[in-house]
Structures are given as structure tokens and as C-alpha cells.
Structure 1
């Protein structure tokens, strides 16, 4: 066959991977040959066998999934971290697994410095660095306190927290308030603009939201059903991690009547709160994250379960936890997201992955439901077929489909839920996360957004630990 023959004849296509590519090509009249191929798996055969043959596993995973599906999420209060978390002076919480100052990345260091300035523990960035390096400030993961925080996730005693409860299992979960976009603490920025905003959030936003949330609940009204908002936003073009436009507007719709009715507050403050919330596309993210945290925490401590309950990153390491191994962390070096950059920033400016917000993917939304929000690819990169294929692939790694979190374009199929360590190891595929990118240098702020996966070794360690637990049972 000549080159001319090749270019003039109808194309014959060989496709490997999920069916969505082949189906799309066939719909256009192309001749497609499917090859049943998938990436090679990983893990020691003896460990894979031990976990696969564990007689407890099926029932344990079924219990874990049932608890996740049943979990609810109600917004019941807004209070300072020192009150609801018992956070003492000179302690800061951060995203991801445990880490020391010496190992902290640029954006985490920037956020820790900014928190020290905000709390008044230091007057200059240099003084903040000194006390942090000297160990005068205790650092601990948000996850150790039933809390989650996006990006650096730094939470200090004076910051106000969303307080959510699970009416089914009785759990509680917390998250700080979202700062909006631009130069923000969670991205590692700590200039005067950042500190001024944090003080306004402490002095105005937090107290107003507290009265708006607490007043109706104290008067006997039903708490805001945050899980319901999350379910609705998936049907309105959001995926619950990097795109929260519909969710933020629905949350504001629920809260605004009570905000307007708050007494004893200047009308200018009420207007500022409404303007801030209405202009913050990620306002809902800090409500969605503790909703996911509530569900995943309900599945903790189930012997024999191979389901992942936490995925979190501190900018240096990526860590996961499983239902069958409790609070034990399995960690590896965090990968750097690949995606789109703001302004003149490029790959060399991006820090490795950071944030507790991967709790959304752990729950089965975010990067797992990109098919519900095809417009997200304009922010994180890729294409609409990529978004569809990603969601299809995540079904291969999970234990169930969540009927409460439906994906319209897939015939309202439930979202892929319950990451299974064994399925990840057998397939060789890793969970997909879409995320923001913080600047590598402290103080930079956000440089872009993109896609990232956990390091394989997190799952290798979890597989080994689960196999050891199986043998010891």
C-alpha cells in the first residue's frame, strides 16, 4: 500500500482502553478494532492472593460501602477552631499526612508563616520562620482532628470552622472557611492582603455566618442538608472539587435569608458577607469536603476491608488510609499536577500536589465525576472525551456506585465510590484527582490547575499492610 492509498482510504482504527473511545468513533462511521488491554498490575503475588482470598473481605467491604452510602451531612454550626477542635494556642493544623517544618514545601511554609502572623505569634515573616524552625509551634494533620482543609489546609485557633454532623452515624467533621481566589493563605501566600482578609473573616464573616446557621437551628428549623446540595450540583455541571459554581450558589441560596435576618450587625457587614460569598466560586468546597469526610470516617475500623478512606497531600508526601488499617498512613512522594497555568507561570513554578481536598475523590466525586462537568477540562486541561473516559475508568477501581451522586451524561449512573486497594493493584490504574496548583516558592499563591495521581507506592504499602493484617487475623 502506498502513502497515497493510506491517506485516501477510510481509516481503520485499533483502540485499547475504555469503550467510550470506540463507541464515539463508531458513531462517526469509523471502522474500529478493540484490543482488550490494560496496564500491568503491581504488588507481590502472595500479598495479592492473601487479600483476595481473605474470607472477611467481601462482607467487610460491603459494610464499608453501606456506611458511606447511608451517611448524611448537615450544617449545624460555625465556631472558632479553638472551641470545636480544642485547638490550643501555638498549634497549627495542616493538610496531608504528618510533616515537620524542615520537610515542608514552599506553599505549606508560606501558609504556616501567614497563620503565625495572623494569630499575632510573630510580627514579621522572619520571626515566624524562626519560631516554626525552633519547634515552638506544634504541627498536626487536619485529619487527626476530624477536619479537612484545601491546599495547604492550615488552620489556626482563631479561624472559624464549618461544623457538620452525620445524622445517621453521629459523626462530626469540620473545615475552615474558603478565602476565595487569588492571593490566599491556602496557596501559600501571606502578604498584607492575605492577612487583612483573614482578619475580616475572623471579625465579620465568621460571626455573621455563625448567627445565620445557629439561629434557625436553635429555633427548630432543619439544618442545611449539604449532601443534598452536593448531589444536585453534579446534575448542574459541577464535579465537586475544582468546579463548585452551582454548589456555591445553592449554599448561598440556603443561607442568605438567615444572613439578611442577622441582628445587631451593620448593614454594610451583611452586604460585604453576601458579596464575598456570592463572588467566591469555591465557597461550597469547604462544605463539600467535610461532607465527604463524614462519609469516609463512618467506614473506619472495619477489619478485612480494603477500601481507601483517606487520600491527602502535604506538598511533600501523598498519604492514604484504609478502612481495614485505621489511622495508619501509607505515604510516598507527592506527584506534581499536569495541567494549565495562569499568566506566565509554567511547570517549573508548580509545587508537588497538596491538600486534603482529595477527600472528594475518595468519596467518589471530583476527578471521579469529571463526566458530570465536562467544562472542567477548560480549567484543568484535557478534553471532553478525556473527562468521560476518566469516570468510566474509575468504575474499574471502586466497589460500588453511589445512587445519591448521579452522573447525568452516563444515564444518571451513580458515581464510582469506594476505592479498593486490591482493584487498584490488579489493574495498575491509579485514582484520578483534579486539583489546583500552588507555587513552589512560599508566598507565590496559585499558579494553575491540573490533574494528578497518587504515587503507586502508597497502594503497595497499603496492600502489604492489609495482607499482613489478613494473615494475623
Structure 2
């Protein structure tokens, strides 16, 4: 103990910053630790957590869940209409990002995107009518995650929208996501102007069928190797997708040129994807969803 006080000390400060302030004012050294009691110190929650930590059954289940994630093999299975391929998506239902939430509690961008989806589907003639439908309960709202789906930002998905289908062949489960609209005035940010709706309809009527024709010549594209390469090229495959989108279009263009799609549509599709560095984002989200869902319902 005597030797402890014979050399410079550095205090680890947990809790009130004033403790470290007092030490530093007197010339001492203090390291401030960013720590707080689990569950904000709520006793019952802490006791529940204590029962979980180190539990052999839970540790085994966690290990199995991680193993399922690591061995997942996501492949691009195609493009389909959401109402036909997304499980449980009803005729008058719109999916959204995040947990369950009522229309009245949704943030402005999500409400705006839902209004846009209602207009896109043709369920309402104008924005006022669309808002009235949402207010009345005529439209069902559910989270994307409840339907094996995922989407960026507001994450809005309605029955007519084309969706990527990603299959995790290691476990046989699928995940779905919309096609990326690009940046600027887009539905996922809450925009619902005529140009936004027109773009969505072009994506449904022209882009999706063109891509579908190309994918017939690009069977079961493995997505983990493509994403791994993109990471090595500087992407983080979320907000920077330049490499992943470029690698994807590199694989896609030869397949499109072999397809029977109209040449003008092929040119428009290539131009659209080439001008959107975020195009791969929605695919990467479906990849992660398919990998993580493999651990859903794990006993333990």
C-alpha cells in the first residue's frame, strides 16, 4: 500500500463529474468513465438482466444465433410485386420502418410518405383525401419487420411497389425491400409531389420489368462476396454505396443486354442506376434482414 502512494496516480471516475473535477483542480489525473447502472438502476429490470447474464441456455442460444448469421448465404432471387410476394401484406395495407405506431403518432416525413403511397396506389384522388383515409382507419399500418421486409428512412412499402427478393439459401428464408429511388425529393424522405409519384410508377411499370428480364440471365447472384469487396473498396454499405452499386451494375449490364427487354428501357434503367450511388442500399438492407431473421425464434 505504501508503494501505491509513492508514484503518480490516475483515478478512474465513475458517476458524478464533480469528483473528477475536484481531483483535476488539485493537479491530479482522472479518467472519466462513461457508465451508468443497467436499466437506469430499475431494480426489477436489473434482477431480470442478472438472471440472463451467464445463463448456459441463453449463452448456447446466442452462440447458435451468431452461427446462423455467419453461415447465411444471401442471394438475389429476383424482383416481385410486393402484394404478391411479401407475406401477409394486405390489399389496403402499408408497411413502414420501425416498431408499430399509430398514424396520429407518426412523424411528419413518415406521414408524408404514407400519403404519397396512397396516391401512388390510386386509393385517393388528392392529398386531402389520402390524409382522410389514413385518419379514418381505412388503411392498415404495420412494421416492415413483421413481414420479412425492410426499407430505408420512412421505409414505406405498399402492395404495387416492386421489391427485391433476397433468399438466404442456408436457411431457406427470404427478405424483401423496395427499389431505391435516388436522392433528393423522394418518398422515403416524406415527399409526395407529382414527380415523386411519377417516378414510383415508372419504377413499377418500366424499371422493375426491365431488371426482371435481366435477372433471368443473372441467376442467384451471391451478395455477401459483392458486399465484402465493396467494404474493401471504401463503402460501409449504408450511407456510402458507390462501390457496391458500381459492382452491381457491372454484373447487371451484360445480363440486361442479353435480355429481351426493349433497348430504350434498358438504356433508361442503366442511366437511372448509374446516376444513383445509393441504388445498392436497399439490397444490402434485405441482405442483412435475411441473415438476421435466420436467428428469429431461437429457443433459449
- Is the partner of 2:188 in helix, strand or coil? helix
Matching residue of 1:252: 249
- Aligned mates of 2:299, 2:264 — CA distance in 1: 54
Between structure 1 and structure 2, the one with the greater Rg is 2
* Offset of residue 281 of structure 1: 1.0
- Aligned mates of 2:185, 2:76 — CA distance in 1: 28
* Offset of residue 180 of structure 1: 0.3
* Offset of residue 41 of structure 1: 3.5
Whether the aligned pair in 1 keeps the contact of 2:217 and 2:258 (CA below 8 Å) is: no
Q: CA RMSD in A?
A: 2.0
Question: Which residue, 104, 108, 112 being the options, matches 2:114?
Answer: 112
- Aligned mates of 1:83, 1:237 — CA distance in 2: 36
- Aligned mates of 2:74, 2:59 — CA distance in 1: 27
Q: Where does 1:182-193 land on structure 2 (aligned, <5 Å)?
A: 182-193=184-195
- Aligned mates of 2:33, 2:192 — CA distance in 1: 48
Matching residue of 2:239: 242
After superposition, what is the alpha-carbon deviation per residue over 1:296-355, rounded to whole angstroms, capped at 9, x for unaligned? 101112233xxxxxxxxxxxxxxxxxxxxxxxxxxxxxxxxxxxxxxxxxxxxxxxxxxx
- Aligned mates of 2:266, 2:214 — CA distance in 1: 11
Matching residue of 1:400: none
* Offset of residue 72 of structure 1: 1.1
Matching residue of 1:284: 280
Q: 1:39 to 1:126 in 2, by over 3 A?
A: same
Whether the aligned pair in 2 keeps the contact of 1:76 and 1:214 (CA below 8 Å) is: no
- Is the partner of 2:267 in helix, strand or coil? helix
- Aligned mates of 2:214, 2:198 — CA distance in 1: 23
Q: Where does 1:199-348 land on structure 2 (aligned, <5 Å)?
A: 199-217=201-219, 223-265=220-262, 267-304=263-300
Matching residue of 2:64: 63
- Aligned mates of 1:103, 1:291 — CA distance in 2: 30
* Offset of residue 15 of structure 1: 11
Structure 2: which 5+ residue stretches go unaligned?
A: 1-9, 13-28
After superposition, what is the alpha-carbon deviation per residue over 1:409-465, rounded to whole angstroms, capped at 9, x for unaligned? xxxxxxxxxxxxxxxxxxxxxxxxxxxxxxxxxxxxxxxxxxxxxxxxxxxxxxxxx
- Aligned mates of 1:70, 1:173 — CA distance in 2: 16
Matching residue of 2:3: none
After superposition, what is the alpha-carbon deviation per residue over 1:20-60, rounded to whole angstroms, capped at 9, x for unaligned? xxxxxxxxxxxxx8948342242344223211142212211
* Runs of 4+ with deviation above 6 angstroms: none
Whether the aligned pair in 1 keeps the contact of 2:210 and 2:261 (CA below 8 Å) is: no
Q: Where does 1:13-52 land on structure 2 (aligned, <5 Å)?
A: 35=31, 37-43=33-39, 44=43, 45-52=46-53
- Aligned mates of 1:216, 1:91 — CA distance in 2: 32
Whether the aligned pair in 2 keeps the contact of 1:164 and 1:290 (CA below 8 Å) is: yes
Number of equivalenced pairs: 270
Q: Where does 1:1-16 land on structure 2 (aligned, <5 Å)?
A: none
Matching residue of 2:74: 73
- Aligned mates of 1:96, 1:189 — CA distance in 2: 19
- Aligned mates of 1:255, 1:116 — CA distance in 2: 32
Provide the TM-score with structure 2 as the length reference. 0.85
As a proportion of its length, which structure holds more helix? 2
Q: 1:122 to 1:263 in 2, by over 3 A?
A: same
* Offset of residue 210 of structure 1: 1.0
Matching residue of 2:150: 148
- Is the partner of 2:77 in helix, strand or coil? strand
Whether the aligned pair in 2 keeps the contact of 1:78 and 1:214 (CA below 8 Å) is: no
Provide the TM-score with structure 1 as the length reference. 0.55
- Aligned mates of 2:11, 2:207 — CA distance in 1: 53
